[in-house]
Amino acid sequence: MESNESDISYSYEEEITMLQDKTNRTIPEELKIGQPTQISLKENPTTGYSWNVTVTDGLVIIDDTFVGPDNKRLVGAGGTHIWTLKATGVGNQSFSGVYRRSWEPADDSDTRYVKEFIVLQ
């Protein structure tokens, strides 16, 4: 049986929880200028898969850390990637990522994550 990395052993829907309104639209998180926030996503770079992330002009990534498994002897075990962001510009801002192998072409089936923010004075 051929393995498909999109059949990840953990569910991003469980890991990625966002507030939603009654119409099932994502509600942006409010931040003030200078306020930090964190985003944590499961990642397994030992398989070649990692998050390729971008932020809009009003956000800055001030820390980018990968935390591996507690048991360092677990071959092929993933961990958690944590980005600390700081709001620097007023208005609608976003953090987005694509989970894929860097040497493979982008594909519509790649796992994607988007977190929206409204930055206030």
The per-residue pLDDT for range 59-85, each reduced to its tens digit, is 999 999 999 887 666 777 889 999 999
pLDDT band at 87 (very low <50, low <70, confident <90, very high): very high
Q: Does the pLDDT at position 50 exceed 80?
A: yes
Q: How far is CA 99 from CA 43, 47, 48, 81, 112, in A?
A: 8, 12, 10, 11, 6
What is the bridge-based pairing of β-strands 29-32 and 59-67? Answer: unpaired
The answer to whether residue 18 sits within a structural domain is: no
CATH of the domain at 73: 2.60.40.2020
Burial track 48-57 (b if 16+ CB lie within 10 A, e otherwise): ebbbebebee
The answer to whether residue 3 sits within a structural domain is: no
Q: Does the pLDDT at position 14 exceed 70?
A: no
The structure tokens listed for 84 are: 């600390």
Tally of domains within the chain:
1
Contact 114, 56 (CB under 8 A): no
